[in-house]
Chain A
Amino acid sequence: MRTLRFLVNKLNSWSVLSVIFIVLILSPNIDILIHMFTKPNENWLHIKTYLLKDYIINSAILVVMTGVFCTLAGTIMAWLISAYNFPLRNFFKWALILPLAIPPYIAAYTYNGILDYTGVVQTFLRNDLGIQVNPRYFDIMSIYGAVFIFTMVLFPYVYMITRAFLEKQSASLIENARLLGKNSFEIFIYVILPISRGAILGGATLVALEVLNDYGVAAYFGVQTFSTAIFKTWFALGDIDSALKLAALLMLSVFGIVLLEKILRGRKKYNLTSKVRPIIRKQLKGAQAFLAVFICFVFFSFGFIIPTLQLLQWSILTYEKILNIYFIQLMFNSVWVALVASVLIITISVVIANFSRIEDNWFAKLISKLTLVGYSIPGAVIAIGVILFITQMDHQLQWLYKMIDPNSITLVLGTSIVMLLFAYVIRFLAVGYQSVESGFDKVGKKFFEASRMLGKNVTQTFIQVDYPMLKPAIISGFALTFVDIMKELPLTLILRPYNFDTLATKTYEYANNEMVHEASIASLIIILVSLCAIYLLYKLGDKEKI
């Protein structure tokens, strides 16, 4: 009887949907997980002897250094924007998100293009000033160069999430601290950092995951990381078992990071009360104002302006040869897949996050953690899992296809866009979910309970109470996933239907042929579209006056 009551009590559309979504997301990965437990073979020994140590050290250096720099940069700027008024503050408020529009691999190509022997810097020194410099000083192709690239394009994750959090904080906290005789620096260290810990860590986790999963930058700069190792083992050694073992190690480290985040975040939850008074910004003057502008400007320049200008110059060099009407089609393709996939991701995130908030038990926590699975597996590995899964689905659905069209081909889903969309959802669910979950965290459970007491069920409550309060989180989650999908490459490349090109695949096409200049136009359009998305969604988000 007790279990029956338990079941009836828990069975609602939210829990059922959550479980279905998670099962769908996990199933393509099951085959892969099974491989993990096969016996190590000679290749594994080879990897262990010659490579593993380097992989671990390099990946650790990349993740830790990038994580620390992004956290520092993101948090400081989030605090500056939330608590101070200075010239151009309103501009920087959203401009500092823009580096997210630049795919790391494009940033890597671009910065190397700027700094290498034929790049604008050395050329200027050589041709205009007559200085022959040691090219080693301008060599960005190293692990530290990679840290620089990642920091400059990924810090907005921390910045965005932390700023959104700080905006919801009550002014009284800071005013109290001020009255207790703390100066701005002390307030930042003793009040802001501790209360925004959850948000900062949420952003830092995204950064760490992006870095761990990167293939393009590491491969181009010749840095041996886990991702490059997985590809090498899989393709060059032709050993899928060992590759999956490496993937499993990567996954473990990802879960390690997530666990660390949970531990660091602690058990504290900071609910906002209904009487939030937003922080009143302090006017900065003179040197202080200059410093604030300077910090924001430096990061905005390195993260956005400089690479964009370089790409612009290259496109001026090549547009006659490259640009044609076909680019409109590319843009259109990129935008609508990103749009559809983001909507799906946000919907699923909302369902699962709401479920895990309501059912505060181990099962719900597990479900919520499983959303991260896709983010912890390299894109190419997901791709293969998805192809396998969809092919099986197609076989299961044969009867249906034959009923509709007797001449139907076998792979109906497998040659359609569904496959790609499905893979996007698996891959980027974590990004949307992090945002939505932090939104739920902020709102807390109180309004939900109040609404239930006023006679609304979970769904009505979501629509009338949770959704309006979650909107900023939903919008930022949407923007993040949209931009991420616009930039995505490995999945798009391998899972797209016939004759389906996007801006990212076009960029790859040229960059892979070492035609970096020719790749610039497609890159620029990716940046432009992402920029529009960020701006539009930012504007929608800004209108919220809750």
Chain B
Amino acid sequence: MFIEIKGLCFRYPKAPKAVIEDFSLTIEQGEVICILGESGGGKSTVLRLVAGLEVPSKGRIRINDITMVDESVFVQPEKRGVGMVFQDYALFPHMTVAENIRFGLNKMSNKEKDHRITQMLDLVSLGDYKKRYPYELSGGQQQRVAIARTLAPKPSLLLLDEPFSNLDAHLRGKIREEIKIILRQTNITVIFVTHDEEDAKSMADRVVILKEGKIIDIADPKLVC
């Protein structure tokens, strides 16, 4: 058991209703989990809680047998070894593609960093774009940079927030396949959220269906869709 989420609750101060209620889930190493639900249903909040960007009002999260958050512990996001690709990528506009990727690489010699950057850019097939700035890239290219940046520090867990929502329809299928290959190559544990059943069907090992903050079903993607 790689990730254990138990009884997770989250509400905004003064809000009448909890955004997440009693969310429990265990995930095995290398599994790709999809959280499927309508927008505003609390999907992204789950990711943010796992990432450490929000503090739960109740519940516990353990990753790789280390408690990340419970009643008495809170591990800061930068200490969790979790990577996240944001919905709109959040590429640093003042850095080139290479600098963006280099950003997450700590405790490495410069040579190792250069090597890793090249490796990552090859992985996402953007070897020639090192010196470009984010605004010079297409949406699909930006997304691949974002994934390369997130994977570069070798996180133990990858979180993807609506990874395909900003892409053109005709690109979606193609990029989905590409990402799937990239993820398989790295054999990384993944949680991604989406509102699109196609995404879930093509990529996930298991699908968690979330409605108004509660899990209503956990199932095999082929059965769900």
Contact = CB atoms under 8 A, between A and B. Distances in A.
Asked if A pairs with B, the answer is yes
Interface of A: 1-2, 4-5, 8-9, 273-277, 361, 446-447, 449-457, 464-465, 468-469, 546
Given A277-B135, A361-B13, A452-B53, A457 B90 contact: no
Ranked nearest first, the 6 interchain pairs of A and B with the lowest CB-CB distance are A454-B104, A450-B90, A452-B77, A1-B72, A453-B84, A446-B90
B82 interface: yes
A409 B27 CA distance: 70
B86 interface: yes
A361 B72 CA distance: 20
Interface of B: 13, 51-53, 55, 71-74, 76-78, 81-84, 86, 88-94, 103-104, 106, 134-135, 139, 142, 149-150, 153
Nearest to A456: B78
B104 A455 contact: yes
Nearest to B139: A275
B93 A464 contact: no
Given A274-B90, A274-B135, A8 B78 contact: no
17 contacts: A273-B88, A274-B88, A446-B90, A449-B84, A449-B86, A449-B90, A450-B86, A450-B90, A451-B103, A453-B78, A455-B104, A455-B153, A457-B76, A465-B92, A469-B92, A469-B94, A546-B93
Contact of B51 (A4, A9, A453): A453
A274 B84 CA distance: 16
Contact of A4 (B72, B93, B106, B142): B72
Tell which of B51, B74, B78 has the most Cβ of chain A within 10 Å.
B78
B150 A9 contact: no
Contacts of B93: 274, 276, 469, 546
Contacts of A1: 71-72
B100 to A, nearest CB: 9
Main secondary structure of the interface of B (DSSP, over half): loop
A452 B78 contact: yes
Nearest to A469: B94
B150 A453 contact: yes
A454 B94 contact: no
Contacts of B82: 453
B119 to A, nearest CB: 17
B74 to A, nearest CB: 5
Contact of B74 (A9, A275, A277, A446): A9
A8 B78 CA distance: 15
B49 to A, nearest CB: 13
